[in-house]
Amino acid sequence: MRLIKSGGGRVQRLAAAALWFFVLFFLPAKLPAIASPSPPPRVTADAAILVEWRTGQILLEKNAHQKRSPASLTKVMTALLALEKGRLEDIVTISPRATQVSGSRMYLRAGQKYTLGDLLQGLLLKSGNDAALAIAEHIGGSVEGFVQMMNDRARSLGAWETEFKNPHGLTTPGHYSSAFDLALLARYALNNPVFAQLVASRETEISELTRSTDIYLRNTNRLLWGFAGADGVKTGTTSVAGNCLLASATRGATRFIAVVLHSDNRWRDSVNLLDYGFANFSLATPVKQGDVLAYLSVAGGRKREVALTAEEDLVAVVAVGEGAALRAEVDVADGVRAPVERGQRLGTVTLWLKDKLVGQTSLVAVESIPPKRWAEYFLEVWQSLLQRVVLWEDFDWR
C-alpha cells in the first residue's frame, strides 16, 4: 500500500511501501457486482442479491431493484421498529383485530397478555401475522400509525424502493420492496444484538402471562439446521410473492446476506449464493482505527506536532486470486494553531484502487495540545538569547 500525503493544494509522498490487496469496497448504492475467480451461480429466483454485511458491497445481483411483494420479509422492519421504540418487558394485550388475521399465525386469543419480547419471537421464528398486528398496535397506537412509522423509518435508512401497507406482508396493493432494499434493511437490523439473537434462534418456548400457557416456536428458516454459519434472517411465502428468503451466514470475520424473491427453490438458491460468497470473497482491513498515518505541525502549542490517526477502520472486500495496488492518500493542512483537542478532525485518509475511490475516513488528533503560556514564551526567548551569548563568546576572533 502506498501512503501519499497532500496538503495546501500540493501532493507529496509521505511514505511508500509495496503491499497488494484484492480489494473492492461498497460506496455508491448501485455499485456493480465485482468480479470473482469462479462463475456466479444460477438462481431460480426472479430477483436476488448477495451482499457483504459490513461494507454492503454487492457481489451478485439479479433484478435487485425490481419492486416486488416481499411477503413476511416485511417483518424485519416490524421487528426493528419494535426494538427501537419498545421495551422487551412491555406487556401487550392482544386485541380482537390481531386474532382475525389470516395466514401464518401464533393463534393468539383476544385478551391474552404477552411480553413484547415473546411476541417478537413469535413474529420472527413462527412468522406470526397475529403477532405482527399486536406489536403494531402496541408500538404505533394503531396498525395504520405503525405502518406510517415503518415507511418513515425505511426512508431514513435509504430504502427508496419500498412501500409498506401492513406490518406482516400479506398481499396488499401498493405493498412492495426490492431485493436491494431488503438486504439494506437486514444489514441495519443485524447491527441490533437482540434482533441478531432472535433471528439466529432455532426454537424456543414462550408463555402467556395470565394463564401460563406455553407455546413452542420453531424457526421456519431451515438453513439454521443445514448450512454452516447460518444465523438468520427471515422466510416469506404468499401466492403472489412466491417463496422468499432473506438469509444470513457468518464464518470467521465474514458475513454475507442473500435475498431471493419468488424462487423455485429458495433453500438451494440461498445456499448457492452464500457458498459463492464464502468461496470467492473475504474481508481485508488495509487501514485500521488508531493507525498513525501523519504528523501535523502545531503553531503556538506546548508540543510542536501532533500525530493523526484513522478515526475508523477502512474495510474492503477481498476477491480471492485477484490482486490490485491499493493506495492510501492522506490529506492534511500544512499546520494547525494550538489549542488542539484530542479526537479533533484534522484531515482525511482515502483509499483508492487505481482511479476508483473505495473508502474514506477522518484523521483525528491522538492527544490534546494546549497553547503555550506567556512564561513559556519568555523562557524560550531567554534560552535563545543565552545561546547566542554563548556562541558569541566562543567565537574565535583571531
Residues catalogued as catalytic: 72, 75, 127
Strand blocks (E) in 82-152: 91-93, 113-115
Which residues lie closer than 8 Å to 56 by C-beta, 6 or more apart? 26, 184, 187
122 vs 333: CA distance, rounded Å: 56
Q: What is the dihedral of CA 319, 322, 325, 331, to 10 degrees?
A: -10
16 vs 135: CA distance, rounded Å: 57
CA distances from 336 to 10, 296, 310, 330 (A): 17, 7, 18, 16
Tell me how long the chain is: 398
Q: What is the dihedral of CA 95, 84, 197, 269, to 10 degrees?
A: 90
Query: Three-class SS of residue 340?
Result: strand
Which residues lie closer than 8 Å to 255 by C-beta, 6 or more apart? 52, 53, 54, 190, 231, 248, 249
Query: Three-class SS of residue 148?
Result: helix
Query: Three-class SS of residue 281?
Result: strand
**Per the structure block, which three cell numbers stand in for 28?**
455508491
Radius of gyration (Cα) for the chain, nearest Å? 28
Yes or no: say if 263 and 284 are a contact pair by the CB < 8 Å rule: no
Closest CA to 52 of 292, 193, 258, 299: 258
324 vs 303: CA distance, rounded Å: 39
Count other C-beta atoms under 10 Å from residue 149's C-beta. Answer: 21
Yes or no: say if 113 and 90 are a contact pair by the CB < 8 Å rule: no
Q: Return the DSSP state at 18.
A: -
**Per the structure block, which three cell numbers stand in for 210?**
395470565
Backbone φ and ψ for 158, nearest 5 degrees, come out as 90, 15
